[in-house]
Amino acid sequence: MIKKLSKAVGVAALTLSAAMAQASETIKVGVLHSLSGTMAISETTLKDTVLMMIEEQNKKGGLLGKKLEPVVVDPASNWPLFAEKTRELLAKEKVDVIFGCWTSVSRKSVLPVVEELNGLLFYPVQYEGEESSKNVFYTGAAPNQQAIPAVDYLMNQGVKRWVLAGTDYVYPRTTNKILESYLKSKGVSEKDILVNYTPFGHSDWQTIVSDIKKFGSTGKKAAVVSTVNGDANVPFYKELANQGISSDDIPVVAFSVGEEELSGFDTKPLVGHLAAWNYFMSAESDLNDEFIDAWHAFTKNEDRTTNDPMEATYIGFEMWAKAVTKAGSVDVDKVRPAMYGLKVPNLTGGTAVMNTNHHLSKPVLIGEIQEDGQFDIVWKTDGVVKGDAWTDFLPESKNLMSDWAAPISCGNYNTVSKTCAGSEVAGQQAM
C-alpha cells in the first residue's frame, strides 16, 4: 500500500517537474481583452482568435522549438485596470508579447506601461491615429485607411451634405475633426456639415434621426458618417428604419459596425447601409475560407461570424511569429526591427506589409449590409493604402511623421523642423 502510494507520489512529482521544466521552455503570449463589462461583447471574440492562432501555431511545432503558452487576463472594460493588468503581464508573468485592447482609451491607459517596461503590444482595432509608440504595432486601420476612403466613395456617389454622428469620446471626436477638415478641403461648405455627439449607450435617437431626416431632405443628396460606438448602434439603426429612412435616401456609413455587431440586429431594415473596413467575412479568397472554417471548428459553432479586428489580430500574430523566427529570439529589441517590411497575406487577397511607422499597408473595402447580416463588397481600393499615424488633414499633425527605423527612430518626427518631439508631446497632441 505504502509502496503504491510512494510510487504514485513519485510519478506525480516527476510529471510536475516535467511540467515545470516545460513551462520555462514556453513562449508566453499575453492576451489583454475584456471578458466582462461593456466591451466584452466585442473583445471576447478577439481573445478567442488569439487562442485559436496559438493553438494552430503549436500544432505547427510552436516557435523556435518552443510551445506558445497563452496568459489570459480580464481587464473587465475598466480602463485603469488595463494598465494594472499590463504591468502584471509584463512584470510578473514575463510575457514576450501582448495582444490586446479595443477602445482607444484603454490603449492610452496601457501605453505608458508598455513603454516603461519595454513590452510589445499588438493593437488590432481601427483607431483615430495621432499616435505612434515604439512598443505598439497598430494592425487596425488608421483614419486614412477607413474614414477618408469611405468619404471619397460617397462623394463619388453624389453625396453633397454630410452628417458626422459619433459617440462622445476620443476616437469619434478626432476622426470627425479630420473628416471635417478633409471635407472642407474638398469644397464642402460649413452649412452642409452637421456634427452630432451622443453619450455612450445612447438609446433615444428620435430627435437626432428626425434632424438627420430634415437635413437630408433639402434636395441635395445627404449621407451619415457614423462613428457611433458599440451598443448605441442598434437603437440608432432601428430608429432610422422606423422613421422610414432607407439606405437609398440617406445612406449611413459606419466605422464601428461589423459582422459581429450586426449579429444582434434584425438587419432587414438596414439593407444597403454601408461600412468601411479592411476585411469582410464575405470576401472571396481561399485563405478566407480556410480561416472561417478554422474559426468554426475552434468555436464549434457554424454560425459564428468573423470580422475586421479578427483579421487584424490574425495578421498581427502571423507577423509576430514570422519576426520571431527571423530574429531567432523573442527579445523585444530584436523582434521590433525584424517586423519592418514583413509581408503576410491578407485574408481578402493580396499582402499586408508592416511599415516602419508601425502601421500596415492594407486594402480598403466598402460593403453594404445584406439581409443575412453579411456585407456585400461594393467597392475596393485598387492597391493597398499605407496607414498614416499622423493625419495630413489636421494643422497640428500635418508636418509630423513616424519612422521607428534608423536613422530617424522617432514616433513624431517633424518634417519641417527636422526634429523629434519625443513621446511626451506626442501624448499631449493625441488628446
Partner 1 sequence: MKRIITSLICIFAFSSGVQANAKSDNLIKPPGFADAIETLALANTGNSELSQPKIESEKNNSQSTLISSIKSLDELAGQLITADYVTKKEIIRNIATLKDSRALPFIESILQGELFYIKKSDQLVYRQLLDNKKYLAVSALNGSELGEFKKRKLKKIGINNNLRGEMKTIIATLKITSTDPILREHAALEILKGANENTLTLIDLAISKETDSSINEILMTAQAIIHLKSVDPLKRIDAIKSLEDSLYVESRNALMLFINENKLNNSETSKEEITYAQETVNGIDKLVTLNNVAENIYFGVSLGSVLLLAAIGLAITFGVMGVINMAHGEMIMLGAYTTFVIQQLMPNHAGLSLIVAIPAAFLVSGLMGVLIERTVIRHLYGRPLETLLATFGISLVLQQAVRSIFGPLNQDVLTPSWMAGTFTVNAGLELTFNRLYIIIFSLLVLATLAVVLKKTLFGLQMRAVTMNRPMASSMGIRTGWVDALTFGLGSGIAGIAGVALSQLTNVGPNLGQAYIIDSFMVVVFGGVGNLWGTLVGAMSLGIANKVFEPMAGAVLAKIIVLVAIILFIQKRPRGLFALKGRAVED
Q: Is 169 in the site for partner 1 (CB under 8 A)?
A: no
Q: Is 22 in the site for partner 1 (CB under 8 A)?
A: no
Burial 226-255 (b: 16+ CB within 10 A, else e): bbbbbbbbbbbbbbbbeeebebeebbbbbb
Q: Is 173 in the site for partner 1 (CB under 8 A)?
A: no
Element (H, E) at 351: strand 351-354
First vs last Cα of the chain: how many Å apart?
A: 70
List 211, 296, 326, 421, residue binding partner 1 (CB under 8 A): 211
**Cα 203 to Cα 225: distance, rounded to the nearest angstrom:** 18
Q: Is 298 in the site for partner 1 (CB under 8 A)?
A: no
Closer CB to partner 1, 71 or 377, in the complex: 377
Listing DSSP states for 252-279 in one string gives: EEESS--HHHHTTS--GGGTT-EEEES-
Q: Which residues contact 383 (CB under 8 A, 6 or more apart)?
A: 350, 363
Q: Is 187 in the site for partner 1 (CB under 8 A)?
A: no
The site string for partner 1 over 348-387 (x = CB under 8 A, - otherwise) reads --------------------x-xx----x-xx--x-----
List 72, 117, 271, 421, residue binding partner 1 (CB under 8 A): 271
Residue 26, all three cell numbers: 514556453
Shortest distance, CB of residue 38 to partner 1, whole angstroms? 6
Closer CB to partner 1, 79 or 379, in the complex: 379
Angle at 368 between CA 366 and CA 374, to 5 degrees: 110
List 166, 251, 316, 411, residue binding partner 1 (CB under 8 A): 251
Element (H, E) at 419: strand 419-420
Q: Is 247 in the site for partner 1 (CB under 8 A)?
A: yes
Return the range that interacts with partner 1 (CB under 8 A); candidates 95-103, 115-123, 244-252, 313-321. 244-252
List 65, 187, 219, 383, residue binding partner 1 (CB under 8 A): 219
Burial 278-310 (b: 16+ CB within 10 A, else e): bbbbbbeeeebeebbebbeebeeeeebbbbbbb
Chain positions contacting partner 1, by CB under 8 A:
36, 38, 40-41, 44, 153, 156-158, 168, 196-199, 201-204, 206-208, 210-211, 217-219, 221, 231, 234-235, 238-239, 241-244, 246-249, 251, 260, 263-266, 269, 271-272, 274, 289, 302, 368, 370-371, 376, 378-379, 382
